[in-house]
Amino acid sequence: MKILAVSDQVIDRLYSGNVKDNYSDINMIVGCGDLPYSYLEFLVTVFNLPLYYVPGNHDPEYGPSPDSRAEGCLNLDGRVIFTKSLLMAGLGGSILYQPGGPNQYSQSEMYLRAYRLLPKIFWSRVRFRRPLDLFITHSPPEGIHDDDDPTHHGLRAINLIIRWAQPRYLFHGHTIFYHQNLDSHIATYQTTKIVNVYPFRVMDI
Ligand SMILES: [Zn+2]
């Protein structure tokens, strides 16, 4: 399963008419947040493949208005889905750094969101007899691919979900390569491969 994962930055090479020729073997697209929805809508239209995304801190709050969602794509925030033989879950947002900002959460708010998501993951693992294959977030977990500044500190609740739900992969965005993560965009935490997809990666999982 080849996944094109995008986040945070629009890439001209992808936002072009011949992108499908350059990436003809992609099976699915994943958005890890902070991207204009017009970009996601372009990708989903050109590739004609399913696109699952979570919102980032620069995205509007999800709601009924057309501006608040990416048309033709599925917002996976707080949800679990079994598709194309993969079990996937998503949790959007970043650490709270600007009170009132959309898709920003304190550490304790994010724990509450994690506690709501975990039963859905456990139930789906039993129902579909699969591990959680892919967990999509905007923020990195705490201590991995994150940084000390107030905007880019990782969310502890994501570490909790990794420990309890043991996804095979976590894809996240939000952080470029700061001093803590110069070595690699892929880290391992417990048994989970943690992939910083900023600004895009093709991953075969
Ligand atoms: Zn962000």
> Distance of CA 28 to CAs 117, 159, 177, 178, Å?
23, 25, 25, 28
User: What is the extent of the structural domain holding 76?
Assistant: 2-204
> For residues 130 and 84, is the Cβ–Cβ distance under 8 A?
no
Question: CATH number, domain at 149?
Answer: 3.60.21.10
Q: Give DSSP secondary structure letters for 142-173.
A: TTSS--SSTTTPPBHHHHHHHHHH--SEEEE-
Summarised one tens digit per residue, pLDDT across range 27-62 is 999 999 999 999 999 999 999 999 999 999 999 888
Helix axes 107-128, 156-165, angle to 10 degrees: 20
Summarised one tens digit per residue, pLDDT across range 67-79 is 888 989 999 999 9
In the predicted model, is pLDDT for residue 163 greater than 70? yes
160 or 100: which leads in pLDDT: 160
**Mean pLDDT, the chain, whole residue set:** 93
> For residues 158 and 170, is the Cβ–Cβ distance under 8 A?
yes
pTM value?
Answer: 0.94
Question: What is the spatial distance between Cα 116 and Cα 63, in angstroms, rounded to a whole number?
Answer: 19
Exposed / middle / buried, residue 98 (Cβ in 10 Å: 0-12, 13-18, 19+)? exposed
CA of 113 to the centre of ligand 1 (A): 18
In the predicted model, is pLDDT for residue 66 greater than 90? no
Q: Write out the H or E segment, with its range, that includes residue 127.
A: helix 107-128
CA angle 151, 5, 118 (to 5 degrees): 70
CA of 29 to the centre of ligand 1 (A): 19
142 or 176: which leads in pLDDT: 142
Summarised one tens digit per residue, pLDDT across range 110-126 is 999 999 999 999 999 99
CA of 74 to the centre of ligand 1 (A): 19
Residue 178, pLDDT score: 53
**How many domains does the chain fold into?**
1
CA of 164 to the centre of ligand 1 (A): 25
Question: What is the spatial distance between Cα 200 and Cα 202, in angstroms, rounded to a whole number?
Answer: 7
Section 93-108 average pLDDT: 95
CA of 130 to the centre of ligand 1 (A): 30
